[in-house]
Chains A and B, each alone.
Chain A
């Protein structure tokens, strides 16, 4: 037996080039990725202990299962995957490059004899004249051929779709580019959030993992926040913030609208509408009528605030609801007499401003409006790598499409003199999707035959 001895660096190289390693890492990545979808990631310690018990939690910690996609072993697996595809590409690329740099202009006897797609014709026409006409035929039916003369034989060669040979390499390269973009984004970018109360500004945001705020270098003001509901429901249709960005005293964006799916970017930092909520206490606009004099006054108290009225009376808003059964917004009020007596509380409805006049008493009240200040919750992201990622994605789609949907197709024709006649031999192949190509070949063969027999 002739066993070829290989040195260990060679064996290591072969190991990193091997397709077995590719299949192994792909399947390992698939299997291990499942863990992180079953065990919640980045949760609080108490939650894990409650669900799995302390000893299991400690085991999870040791194996980095609570943040597994960033663990050394998972990142290592991704690294192995990258090394494997780099090595594979380095090993195989030169062979593919040869197809481009040194196309096989002349086919040998073997190709004409063994090719799955072949044909042969005999004609009396001289080879050089026929070659000219065949060139035209190929040009219109396939693509422009190259004419080469070897040993007195004329050879035609035409090829299409050579780029599809690069599809796999383009796809491999795109994975590396996407990873590069992701690394750049992780190192030089951040994910943060900030809540801005209506009418106020912020100059710093809070990173998702970390306690130190990040300075934006400019200020962002929330001028207004609004929620729009689908009619007759409490389902939000749209929530929007009007943001003003001021940089160095200069207004960059003035009340720019952002909604979910339509963020705002400035200086590489993007603000995404994410959440909202009430901020601080709201204020009511209440019109008070003095029933004796008929005088009216409008006040804007907060809930619980004691408001002075003429002749030593006071009132305050005890409670509020945005929808009181089917009557809409309602407030519960009570009046204090000058002697300090707490009178029976009563309800006023925004939809029915005249309603309270029927109650009688010294004063009647009408609820004009209620304003609850909101805060807008924004996600803030800086990702200088994102365009590299998109470029990689584009390359991946382009690469995988050209790898799977197209093939490198080649056609050879040889014209040789034989006893005063010209022998025309034809062969063709496609590096993928042979079945479809054989139909194309049949069509091409017919046209070549027509040209040879001068029927065209």
Chain B
């Protein structure tokens, strides 16, 4: 079996998990939630295997092409989906709120679908600039950070949906919203996820700077990718500081988290697809 087929199974697995999570919202059936988790865990296991296999396949190709599967847009989107699941399962293990899955799994599913359907899946040899161990450290830390921001964004969307209803205070909230965690818990998870993501993003920016210094002799050159990563860093730094002042928790914090994730996605995709810069090879394979 080839890694490409496995990735198709992974995509299907995440789709089923997503549908089950949404079914859980409607039915409140804890068996459905359990099944959804089962698909998540199985999906991420196959996903890990598939990434390992693609890595192995790259070494089977002629001409010394072998490299970690983190080098082009397709590979990075697939890896991003993997990190989202890893961070989600980590947070889910701690908070045990299955309804959050319905708002996080779509990110992973959409990423996998986009990658499998439209991106160039061929394994390509690395250009000299990418032949560095820093590539692995840089991509690993950045995407774990991005994934934590994705979870924070999903939770913030739940918060924003629920907060209006809860503030009206017409007795207990029924229906789908009733199964959401309380807004206090959602606000807390949002903060926690960003607390995980921020140091990882910091590490990602630093490993990127160290690598740039090795490759080009300058650790910071204000190219659009670098600048956007700093913009994302500024937004989440503002978010973390805003927690200390009253009035910036809750609704505003949730909006800031959503804006932060939008900036993250722009930093990741928008810069390559819309703007130009040193990372332009990251946009290859479209």
Contact = CB atoms under 8 A, between A and B. Distances in A.
Bound pair (A, B): yes
Given A33-B227, A261-B129, A386-B213, A397 B203 contact: yes
A218 interface: no
A38 interface: yes
B238 interface: yes
A397 B202 contact: yes
Contacts of A262: 214
A153 interface: no
A236 interface: yes
Contacts of B228: 37
A188 interface: no
A255 B197 CA distance: 45
Nearest to B65: A230
B235 A261 contact: no
B174 interface: no
Nearest to B225: A37
B248 A404 contact: no
Interface string A371-396: 00000000111010010011001001
Contacts of A236: 127-128
B88 to A, nearest CB: 19
Contact of A261 (B198, B215, B263): B215
Interface stretch (B14-22, B37-45, B156-164, B239-247): B239-247
B206 A396 contact: yes
Contacts of A231: 62-63
Contacts of A272: 215-217
A431 to B, nearest CB: 13
A380 B210 CA distance: 16
A261 B214 contact: yes
Interface residues of A, number: 49
B27 interface: no
A180 interface: no
A207 interface: no
A237 B125 contact: yes
B241 A393 contact: no
B5 interface: no
B234 interface: yes
Interface in A231-245: 231-233, 235-239
B214 A263 contact: yes
A80 interface: no
Contact of B234 (A26, A37, A380, A404): A26
B241 A22 contact: yes
A30 B248 CA distance: 18
Nearest to B206: A393
B216 A36 contact: no
B195 A30 contact: no
Contact of B210 (A19, A27, A390): A390
B125 A235 contact: yes
Contact of A401 (B62, B64, B199, B263): B199
A19 B215 contact: no
Contacts of A393: 206, 209-210
A29 B235 CA distance: 9
A400 interface: yes
Interface residues of B, number: 47
Contact of B224 (A27, A30, A37, A191): A37
Nearest to A272: B217
Contacts of B271: 37
B199 A400 contact: yes
B257 to A, nearest CB: 14
B238 A230 contact: no
Nearest to A18: B245
B63 A261 contact: no
B217 A380 contact: yes
Interface in B123-169: 125, 127-129, 131-132, 134
A70 to B, nearest CB: 9
B220 A34 contact: no
Nearest to A381: B217
A260 B215 contact: yes
A22 B234 CA distance: 10
Interface in A153-180: none
Nearest to A26: B238
A45 interface: no
Contacts of A232: 63
A397 B238 CA distance: 18
B93 interface: no
A33 B275 CA distance: 14
A270 interface: yes
B280 interface: no
A5 interface: no
A239 B238 contact: no
B68 interface: no
A143 interface: no
A41 interface: yes
Contacts of B230: 33
A27 B236 CA distance: 10
Nearest to A181: B219
Contacts of B63: 230-233, 237
Given A235-B125, A236-B127, A237-B64, A33 B216 contact: no
Given A19-B242, A259-B128, 17 more contacts: A33-B227, A36-B227, A69-B222, A182-B220, A233-B125, A235-B127, A261-B129, A261-B131, A263-B217, A272-B215, A272-B217, A383-B218, A390-B210, A400-B198, A401-B199, A404-B195, A405-B199
5 smallest CB-CB distances across A and B, nearest first, come from A381-B217, A30-B234, A26-B238, A260-B128, A37-B224
22 contacts: A19-B244, A19-B245, A22-B241, A23-B238, A27-B238, A30-B263, A33-B234, A37-B227, A69-B227, A230-B63, A233-B63, A233-B125, A236-B128, A237-B125, A259-B128, A260-B131, A261-B211, A272-B215, A273-B128, A380-B217, A397-B199, A405-B199
